[in-house]
């Protein structure tokens, strides 16, 4: 069983000492029940109650303590995943040494807040950069002659680039709308679930 250290004063919550197995189970259950933590009112409290109940820790650990434990794990995970320069040498845990890194990475690794989506440049590749201003007169004249010889091909390429950019933007817009719809539906489902759970779970 886990050790329990009592609080310093009467009436204070004791500090629960987590075992390795409990921490592993805690991380796994939090990942498996991610849909309970939607950000809707009281959703986290209900979610933590359910996780603690599944672990058999109801009455030993409060939802607030579970949330603090999770916040500490997330903070340590981010420090290990993106260490500051020179860190890891001074005895701080790293992705290789911290025992919960792999498990936390499975739960959090693909979230946008941890692994931001790849962004696409909105400027076509053939747009001249600042170095173009330095080119000499002969090069500019040669470019103008080249443009005169192939105006149709360049226009087709620009049109094709623009069509591609428009398609990408439309695809991104549709993905955002679909994600917003799914999030809204999920929030509505969770609100209904929480209202049912609040009636079932003793206060």
pLDDT tens digit sequence for 140-196: 777 776 666 665 665 667 777 888 888 888 888 888 888 888 888 888 888 888 888
Residue 8 sits in the same domain as residue 75 = yes
pLDDT (0 to 100) of residue 111? 62
Same domain for 89 and 160: no
Q: For 6-32, write each residue's pLDDT tens digit.
A: 333 334 456 788 999 999 999 999 999
Same domain membership, residue 63 and residue 9: yes
> Which of 60, 87, 116 corresponds to the end of one domain?
116
Q: Range of 104's domain?
A: 1-116
Higher per-residue pLDDT: 99 or 9: 99
Q: Which of 85, 116, 147 is the last residue of a domain?
A: 116
Mean of pLDDT values over 97-119 = 73
Residues 101 and 140 in one domain: no
The answer to whether residue 89 scores a pLDDT higher than 60 is no
Three-state secondary structure along the chain? CCCEECCCCCCCCCEECCCHHHHHHHHHHHHHCHHHCCCCCCHHHHHHHHHHHHHCCECCECHHHHHHHHHHHHHHHHHHHCCCCCCCCCCCCCCCCCCCHHHHHHHHCCCCCCCCCCCCCCCCCCCCCHHHHHCCHHHHHHHHHHHHHCHHHHHHHHHHHHHHHHHHHHHHHHHHHHHHHHHHHHHHHHHHHHHHHHHHCCC
**One domain, residues 25 and 1:** yes
Query: What are 40-71's pLDDT values in tens digits?
Result: 877 888 899 999 999 999 889 999 999 999 99
85 and 132 together in one domain? no
Our count of domains for the chain comes to 2
């Amino acid at each position: 069983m886990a050790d329990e250290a009592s609080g310093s004063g009467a009436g204070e919550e004791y500090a629960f000492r987590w075992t390795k197995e409990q921490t592993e189970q805690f991380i796994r259950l939090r990942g498996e029940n991610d849909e309970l933590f939607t950000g809707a009112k009281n959703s986290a409290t209900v979610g933590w109650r359910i996780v603690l109940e599944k672990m058999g820790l109801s009455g030993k650990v409060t939802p607030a303590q579970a949330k603090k434990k999770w916040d500490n794990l997330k903070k340590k995970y981010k420090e290990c995943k993106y260490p500051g320069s020179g860190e890891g040498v001074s005895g701080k845990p790293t992705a290789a040494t911290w025992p919960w890194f792999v498990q936390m990475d499975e739960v959090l690794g693909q979230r946008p807040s941890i692994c931001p989506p790849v962004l696409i440049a909105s400027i076509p590749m053939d747009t001249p950069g600042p170095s173009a201003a330095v080119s000499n007169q002969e090069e500019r004249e040669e470019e103008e002659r080249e443009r005169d010889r192939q105006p149709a091909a360049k226009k087709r390429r620009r049109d094709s680039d623009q069509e591609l950019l428009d398609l990408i933007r439309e695809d991104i817009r549709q993905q955002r709308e679909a994600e917003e719809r799914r999030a809204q539906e999920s929030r509505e489902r969770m609100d209904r679930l929480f209202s049912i759970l609040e009636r079932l779970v003793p206060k």
